[in-house]
């Protein structure tokens, strides 16, 4: 039986995911020493700044060269380095159940993205947390590292099934309020909600100084509307049905989809949220390598 990361990737695909660079563009907070820059001051290898000596400071940190130049006492300050915490927030609402065969569904693609980022995070000795949501927060796994934690996280992703309702903005606001330490937040969703409300939720993360990646997952059929002949469409969240002639709607649909994608990109750009559109037919290892390497 498949277990852990094997639910999502073959050994060959895992080799392609090796070395995937998961990092924050900004300073982070963590509990252990690691490879990521923190805003906390401490003693480490990388020099940050000087500050004036205050009685009681450790004399071993005095910079005597600065004293020789200015005849004033200064201490050297360093950037403290720490482990990165990556929070993976996966949309499991009804609209994520959509998939146009033979391609994988949006939910499966979202789970694979989360599993890949979690795998890369743990492999570089950082920590990953998971949050699943639809109309409410459905499940959470706190941040952790190591092979057993990765197995638990991937098994939870594999067992999860899309729900019905959607309230992306409300659930993201709940996550933002609960993540206290600066971190890398990876949101994976189709964003099928009121974009203005979603923008306010993304702003909540940014006010808390989190680095945010947003992977918008869509099926090519949603982007291209390839349907022909009278077709029955079912709302996956309400169950409502409508039979229409796609040829009569294609122009208006594609125009509205283009506007929707522009609104999503614009909301992210205005907030310095790292946006990436992901089609369900994409080569995920290649796409993630290109995107995360650009962030470096």
Other C-beta atoms closer than 10 Å to the C-beta of 56 total 6
What is the band of 147 on the pLDDT scale with cuts at 50, 70, 90? very high
Residue 60: per-residue pLDDT: 74
Provide mean pLDDT across the span 200-213: 96
Say if residue 279's pLDDT is above 80: yes
What is the band of 276 on the pLDDT scale with cuts at 50, 70, 90? very high
Do 284 and 116 contact (CB within 8 A), yes or no?
yes
The stretches of 139-228 forming alpha helices (DSSP H) are 147-159, 168-178, 195-207, 220-224
Other C-beta atoms closer than 10 Å to the C-beta of 52 total 9
Which contiguous run of DSSP H or E holds residue 210? none
The stretches of 208-283 forming alpha helices (DSSP H) are 220-224, 246-271
Say if residue 253's pLDDT is above 60: yes
Helix, strand, coil % in the chain, rounded to nearest 5: 40, 25, 35
What does each C-alpha distance from 121 to 5, 54, 150 come to in angstroms?
13, 40, 9
- Distance in angstroms (rounded) separating the CA atoms of residues 16 and 8: 13
Q: Which residue has the tokens 């490879």?
A: 35
Judge if the upstream peptide bond of residue 102 is cis by omega within 30 degrees of 0: yes
Secondary structure (3-state) at 87: strand
Q: What are residue 199's phi and psi, to 5 degrees?
A: -60, -40
Provide mean pLDDT across the span 265-280: 97
- Distance in angstroms (rounded) separating the CA atoms of residues 8 and 197: 32
Residue 141: per-residue pLDDT: 96
- Distance in angstroms (rounded) separating the CA atoms of residues 104 and 118: 20
- Distance in angstroms (rounded) separating the CA atoms of residues 37 and 44: 10
Say if residue 28's pLDDT is above 60: no
Return all residues near 51 (Cβ < 8 A) that are at least 6 apart: 74, 75, 77
What does each C-alpha distance from 239 to 15, 94, 102, 174 come to in angstroms?
41, 10, 23, 27
What is the band of 39 on the pLDDT scale with cuts at 50, 70, 90? very low
Provide mean pLDDT across the span 54-75: 76
User: Structural domains in the chain?
Assistant: 4-28+83-295 (3.40.50.410), 36-81 (no CATH)
Which contiguous run of DSSP H or E holds residue 79? strand 74-82
Which tokens hold the place of 45? 């290898």
Residue pLDDT, tens place only, 76-104: 655 444 479 999 999 999 999 999 888 99
């Amino acid at each position: 039986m498949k277990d852990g990361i094997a639910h999502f990737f073959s050994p060959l695909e895992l080799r392609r995911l090796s070395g995937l660079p998961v990092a924050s563009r900004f300073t982070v907070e963590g509990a252990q020493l690691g490879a990521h820059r923190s805003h906390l001051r401490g003693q480490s290898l990388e020099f940050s700044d000087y500050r004036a000596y205050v009685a009681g400071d450790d004399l071993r940190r005095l910079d005597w060269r600065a004293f020789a130049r200015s005849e004033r006492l200064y201490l050297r300050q360093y950037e403290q380095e720490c482990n990165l915490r990556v929070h993976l927030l996966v949309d499991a609402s009804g609209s994520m159940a959509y998939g146009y065969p033979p391609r994988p569904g949006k939910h499966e693609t979202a789970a694979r993205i989360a599993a890949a980022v979690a795998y890369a995070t743990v492999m570089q000795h950082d920590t990953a947390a998971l949050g699943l949501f639809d109309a409410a927060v459905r499940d959470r796994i706190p941040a952790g590292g190591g092979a057993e934690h990765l197995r638990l996280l991937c098994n939870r992703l594999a067992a999860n099934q899309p729900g019905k309702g959607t309230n992306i903005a409300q659930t993201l606001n709940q996550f933002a309020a609960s993540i206290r330490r600066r971190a890398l937040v990876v949101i994976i969703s189709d964003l099928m909600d009121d974009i203005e409300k979603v923008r306010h939720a993304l702003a909540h993360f940014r006010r808390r100084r989190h680095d945010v990646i947003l992977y918008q997952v869509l099926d090519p059929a949603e982007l291209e509307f390839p349907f022909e002949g009278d077709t029955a469409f079912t709302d996956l969240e309400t169950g409502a049905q409508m039979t229409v002639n796609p040829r009569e709607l294609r122009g208006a649909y594609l125009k509205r989809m283009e506007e929707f994608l522009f609104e999503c990109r614009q909301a992210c750009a205005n907030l310095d949220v790292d946006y990436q559109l992901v089609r369900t037919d994409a080569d995920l290892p290649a796409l993630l390598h290109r995107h995360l390497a650009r962030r470096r």
